[in-house]
């Protein structure tokens, strides 16, 4: 395949890279007053990348670029669409937040665009080296974003913790990649698959385990979840919303492609690891959230809990299971962004965050619309019908049952009841407790727009998207398995 075709296939990543470099120069030559204009340009570039990706001819047909280092197929395009949508939403709500605390600069939007480039490489990578380059590009941007508010001690602490533990995870992945290369003699996914199908030794098993352990850190799965509550609480709220959505989609997609293609012939080896991580994440996430007074830490444990449900679909190791993972991810993006935007809007007249349950006591009387939006989001995260979050859980459990993993589905369903407790606590505090703190200040229109869209998608009206979403997810899963 010639370079022209390769450049066309990866046009979204190349275009975003060029835009990010240009915006970086503009940021260096202008004052902070240009930060909003840079953000608008970044949003426009991401929207262009979204339109370009979904309009690629024969997008669902796998096509390799740059000598087999990257692959553009339906699976990658589905994941990229979610990544770009989540990044755009998080950029829209960022300027007002940072301007309120006097810390918004154009570098923020540039870092977000570079992060999107790295995530795009992650989901398209079919070579271990390309995967690692994309992973590091995304991770390095994330470390800076977590500590973006330099005057805030919690933000600096979150960035340092994320950097130290993220560096450890990257080292684990790199060591696993070296073992996989050592026992397969290649870094391409197809080459690793062929080598392991012929001879899967104990050393190769260690490589598989190390790679999965490092990827488990990136998706915040138990037992590699310890960084999540501290980083989510300390990072600026728009950054937390970003961490909980776009990078999680990219990491899960990277994990799915990894286990289906290079490790696809060794299902019994990795399936047990995924089942343990799924059940442990559901239980630990639910139990850890119960006693949390801080709302951001609670949603951090909620994200761990949701990763467990996503892994149940992956554990099925079938096309239906991967399709269920993608459907759950699509719904999860809107649920989690809506939840964090609602927290972003919980601020008093002085701009101080209302970050605990005491702060939102009686919210239904002081800000009824925001309270009802939070109610819909929490019930959807709990998987309570008729909200759209129920459908996400239904498809992954259905895939597990169809794969004769009835015990796994039953345990997952039973454990999901635990999570309903802390979601319902939101409703109890907002609607039945007396107000204890100040009423939230008026939120900007941009926040209401993003929150309204998220609530609309996860409402019962979201089921109108089910046929289209199911077809797109099934096509993406089939594209992945056709390449396996």
How many structural domains comprise the chain? Answer: 1
pLDDT at 267: 84
Look at residue 32 and tell me if it is in a domain. Answer: no
Asked if omega into 299 is within 30° of 0 (cis), the reply is no
Could you give the angle at the alpha carbon of 409 between the alpha carbons of 406 and 411, nearest 5°? 110
**pLDDT for 200:** 85
Q: Give domain status of residue 359, yes or no.
A: yes
Does 323 fall in a domain?
yes
Which DSSP string corresponds to 148-206? --TT-HHHHHHHHHHHHHHHHHHHHHHHHHHHHHHHHS--BHHHHHHHHHH---HHHHH
Kindly state whether residue 340 falls inside one of the protein's structural domains: yes
What distance, in Å, lies between the first and last C-alpha atoms of the chain? 20
Residue 24 CB: number of other CB atoms within 10 A? 18
pLDDT at 18: 94
CB 203 within 8 A of CB 211: no
Token digits for 374? 């939070």
DSSP-assigned beta bridge partners for residue 125: 70
Structure tokens, 121:
């490489």
- Residue 332 has a pLDDT of 93
In a domain, residue 235? The reply is: no
Give the predicted TM-score (pTM) of the model. Answer: 0.93
Helix, coil or strand: residue 58: coil
| Both tokens assigned to 455 | 């609530």
CA distance 479 to 426: 40
Asked if the structure places residue 118 within a domain, the reply is no
Confidence at residue 311, expressed as pLDDT on a 0 to 100 scale: 93
Q: How far apart are CA 435 and CA 431, in angstroms?
A: 10
Classify burial at 423, counting beta carbons within 10 Å of its beta carbon; exposed 0-12, middle 13-18, buried 19 or more: buried
Identify the bridge partners of residue 356 per DSSP, sorted by sequence position.
294
Angstrom distances, CA of residue 137 to CA of 197, 359, 424, 428: 31, 38, 38, 42
What are the backbone angles phi and psi of residue 356, rounded to the nearest 5°? -125, 170
The answer to whether 416 and 283 have CB atoms below 8 angstroms apart is no
Residue 265 CA to its chain's centroid (Å): 27
Distance CA 417, CA 428 (A): 17
How far apart (Å, rounded) are the C-alpha atoms in residues 188 and 126? 6
At residue 57, the pLDDT reads 60
Helices 319-344 and 246-260, interaxial angle, to 10°?
170
- 205 lies in a domain? no
Domain assignment of residue 315, yes or no: yes
pLDDT of residue 1: 53
| Segment holding 408, helix H or strand E | helix 406-432
484 residues of the chain, pLDDT tens digit each: 577 888 888 888 999 999 999 999 998 888 677 888 899 999 999 999 999 988 876 555 677 888 888 888 889 999 999 999 999 999 999 888 887 877 788 888 999 999 999 999 999 999 999 999 999 999 999 898 888 887 777 878 888 888 888 888 899 999 999 999 999 888 899 999 999 988 888 888 999 999 999 999 889 898 888 888 888 888 888 999 999 999 999 999 999 999 999 988 888 889 899 999 999 999 888 888 888 888 888 999 989 999 999 999 999 888 999 999 999 999 999 999 999 999 888 887 776 777 788 888 888 888 889 889 999 999 998 888 889 989 989 999 999 999 888 988 898 888 888 878 888 888 888 888 887 767 777 888 888 999 999 999 999 988 888 889 989 999 899 888 876 6
User: Residue 277 sits in which domain range?
Assistant: 266-484
């Amino acid at each position: 395949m010639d370079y022209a075709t390769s450049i066309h296939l990866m046009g979204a990543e190349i275009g975003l890279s060029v835009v990010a470099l240009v915006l970086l120069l503009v940021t260096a030559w202008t004052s902070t007053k240009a930060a909003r204009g840079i953000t608008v340009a970044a949003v426009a570039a991401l929207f262009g990348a979204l339109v370009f990706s979904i309009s690629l001819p024969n997008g669902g047909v796998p096509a390799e670029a740059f000598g087999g280092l990257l692959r553009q197929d339906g699976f990658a395009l589905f994941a990229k669409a979610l990544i770009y949508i989540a990044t755009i939403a998080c950029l829209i709500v960022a300027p007002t937040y940072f301007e309120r605390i006097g810390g918004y600069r154009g570098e923020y939007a540039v870092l977000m665009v570079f992060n999107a480039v790295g995530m795009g490489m992650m989901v398209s990578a079919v070579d271990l080296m390309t995967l690692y380059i994309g992973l590091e590009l995304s991770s390095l941007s994330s470390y800076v974003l977590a500590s973006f508010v330099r005057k805030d001690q919690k933000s600096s602490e979150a960035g340092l913790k994320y950097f130290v533990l993220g560096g450890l995870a990257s080292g684990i992945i790199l060591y696993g990649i070296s073992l996989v290369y050592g026992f397969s003699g290649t870094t391409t996914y197809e080459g690793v698959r062929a080598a392991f199908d012929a001879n899967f030794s104990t050393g190769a098993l260690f490589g598989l385990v190390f790679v999965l352990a490092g990827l488990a850190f990136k998706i915040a799965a138990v037992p590699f979840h310890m960084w999540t509550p501290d980083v989510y609480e300390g990072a600026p709220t728009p950054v937390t919303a970003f961490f909980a959505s776009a990078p999680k989609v990219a990491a899960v997609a990277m994990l799915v492609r990894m286990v289906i293609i290079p490790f696809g012939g060794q299902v019994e080896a990795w399936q047990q690891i995924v089942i343990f991580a799924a059940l442990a994440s559901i239980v630990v996430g639910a139990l850890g959230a119960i006693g949390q007074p801080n709302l951001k830490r609670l949603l951090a444990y909620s994200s761990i809990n949701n990763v467990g449900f996503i892994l149940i679909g992956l554990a099925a190791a079938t096309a239906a299971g991967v399709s269920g993972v993608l459907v759950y991810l699509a719904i999860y993006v809107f649920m989690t962004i809506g939840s964090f935007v609602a927290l972003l809007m919980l601020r008093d007249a002085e701009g101080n965050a209302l970050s605990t349950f005491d702060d939102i006591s009686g919210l239904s009387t002081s800000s009824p619309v925001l309270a009802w939006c939070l109610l819909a989001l929490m019930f959807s995260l709990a998987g309570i019908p008729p909200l759209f979050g129920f459908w996400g859980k239904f498809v992954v459990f259905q895939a597990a049952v169809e794969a004769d993993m009835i015990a796994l589905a039953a345990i997952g369903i039973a454990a999901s009841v635990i999570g309903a407790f802390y979601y319902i606590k939101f409703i109890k505090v907002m609607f039945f407790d007396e107000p204890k703190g100040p009423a939230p200040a008026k939120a900007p229109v941009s926040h209401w727009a993003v929150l309204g869209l998220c609530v609309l998608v996860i409402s019962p009206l979201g089921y109108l998207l089910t046929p289209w979403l199911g077809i797109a997810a099934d096509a993406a899963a089939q594209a992945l398995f056709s390449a396996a």
